[in-house]
């Protein structure tokens, strides 16, 4: 049995999911099939990843072959920044549902707390070299997401990349509370304060890029000597230690892979436990270091 958490909506979410950011369209379908056959029941998607149609095709094949039921899966997607206008939100959600070939999403997240100018360009840049933002408040967008719950298109709603002040504001105007905040978390960016805040507010925190995602291989937590030493002690891999660390912190965690061996490896994390001392050794690696920060490319100091 894999561990689950209960969201503030009363719905359960498998703690471990398959990430699909940067999964190529050519391989993401097979990755999803491999994951489901391995035992994954949670897939994290987003419109902006550009691969939802291929994921939808794979899900359809799995359903048709009776390998899994829709009700057994937990599927998340995210509203892109160009689609924040309240009139666009339902269209964006329906487009995602069409691509994923689903009738409902388990979770729909506001991908970032900033509205971009609408249009087909994912990152509409102005002549000044900065992203073009739009005068749409996050409150208007949130109310449009609430309407999706009312309509039955999505079961739970939440946010991603929200900082504490954005969450505090959201909690003031939300009729439906955010179930999840999905942010970058690994031992180099442990997010202890945000974790405590979310726990206090009953918001489940999801760790994206739990292996460190980008960057020089040698700089990633996967290559950290402490992580490697703990892995050796348990005869597991550094990736398994990093995933286990997130699980034991009570987070949901969504490592991305399209490699069948690594998809299986990342799921083989339920038969060992990190000791309190090992958890603390991993905690001490925190250096507030993000690998995913679009501030420079957008020309907006998003996290500052
Ligand atoms: P691949 O898809 O080829 O397996 P994150 O989820 O932190 O963003 O990390 C994803 C990156 O880590 C991808 O480049 C992925 O490559 C790689 N990766 C996924 N699982 C493992 C693993 N078990 N060991 C090493 N690298 C992994």
Q: How many Cα neighbours within 13 Å face the side chain of 129?
A: 4
**CB neighbourhood size of 183 (10 A):** 23
The pLDDT, as a whole number, for residue 216 is 81
The pLDDT, as a whole number, for residue 238 is 98
The pLDDT, as a whole number, for residue 119 is 94
259 lines ligand 1 (CB under 6 A): yes
Query: What does the alpha-carbon distance between residue 142 and residue 176 come to, in Å, rounded to a whole number?
Result: 9
Q: What are phi and psi of 205, to 5 degrees?
A: -100, 130
The pLDDT, as a whole number, for residue 157 is 98
**CB neighbourhood size of 271 (10 A):** 7
The pLDDT, as a whole number, for residue 167 is 98
Query: What does the alpha-carbon distance between residue 222 and residue 241 come to, in Å, rounded to a whole number?
Result: 9
CA of 262 to the centre of ligand 1 (A): 7
Q: Is 49 a catalytic residue?
A: yes
Residue whose token pair is 């940067």: 22
CA of 255 to the centre of ligand 1 (A): 7
Measured over all CA atoms, what is the biggest interatomic distance in the chain, rounded to whole angstroms? 54
CA of 258 to the centre of ligand 1 (A): 8
81 lines ligand 1 (CB under 6 A): no
210 lines ligand 1 (CB under 6 A): yes
Which atom of ligand 1 is the closest one to the Cα of 254? 6
Which residues, given as ranges, of the chain have pLDDT below 70? 214
pTM of the entire structure?
Answer: 0.98
Q: 252: part of which helix (H) or strand (E)?
A: strand 252-253
Which atom of ligand 1 is the closest one to the Cα of 222? 25
Protein residue with least CA distance to atom 18, ligand 1: 257
CA of 244 to the centre of ligand 1 (A): 15
**170, two tokens:** 């959201």
**Residue to probe by mutation, ligand 1, list 28, 243, 257, 258, most atoms within 8 Å of CB:** 257
The pLDDT, as a whole number, for residue 217 is 85
Protein residue with least CA distance to atom 24, ligand 1: 239
**172, two tokens:** 């003031």
């Amino acid at each position: 049995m894999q561990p689950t958490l209960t969201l503030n909506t009363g719905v359960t979410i498998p703690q471990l999911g398959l990430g699909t950011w940067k999964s190529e369209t050519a391989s993401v379908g097979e990755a999803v099939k491999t994951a489901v056959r391995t035992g994954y029941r949670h897939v994290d998607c987003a419109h902006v990843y550009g691969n939802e149609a291929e994921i939808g095709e794979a899900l359809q094949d799995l359903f048709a072959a009776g390998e899994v039921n829709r009700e057994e899966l937990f599927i998340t997607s995210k509203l892109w920044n160009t689609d924040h206008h309240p009139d666009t939100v339902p269209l964006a959600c329906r487009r995602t549902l069409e691509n994923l070939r689903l009738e409902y999403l388990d979770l729909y997240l506001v991908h970032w707390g900033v509205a971009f100018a609408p249009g087909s360009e994912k990152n509409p840049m102005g002549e000044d070299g900065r992203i073009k933002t739009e005068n749409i408040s996050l409150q208007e967008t949130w109310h449009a997401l609430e309407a999706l719950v009312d309509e039955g298109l999505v079961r739970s709603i939440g946010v991603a990349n929200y900082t504490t002040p954005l969450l505090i504001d959201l909690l003031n105007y939300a009729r439906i509370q955010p179930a999840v905040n999905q942010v970058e978390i690994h031992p180099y960016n442990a997010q202890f304060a945000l974790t405590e805040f979310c726990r206090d507010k009953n918001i489940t925190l999801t760790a994206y890029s739990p292996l460190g995602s980008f960057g020089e291989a040698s700089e990633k937590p996967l290559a950290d000597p402490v992580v490697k030493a703990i892995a050796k002690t348990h005869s597991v891999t550094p990736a398994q230690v990093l995933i286990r660390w997130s699980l034991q912190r009570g987070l949901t965690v969504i490592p991305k892979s399209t490699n069948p061996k690594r998809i299986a490896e990342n799921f083989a994390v339920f038969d060992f436990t990190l000791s309190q001392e090992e958890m603390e050794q991993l905690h001490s690696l925190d250096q507030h270091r993000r690998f995913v920060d679009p501030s420079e490319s957008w020309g907006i100091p998003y996290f500052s």
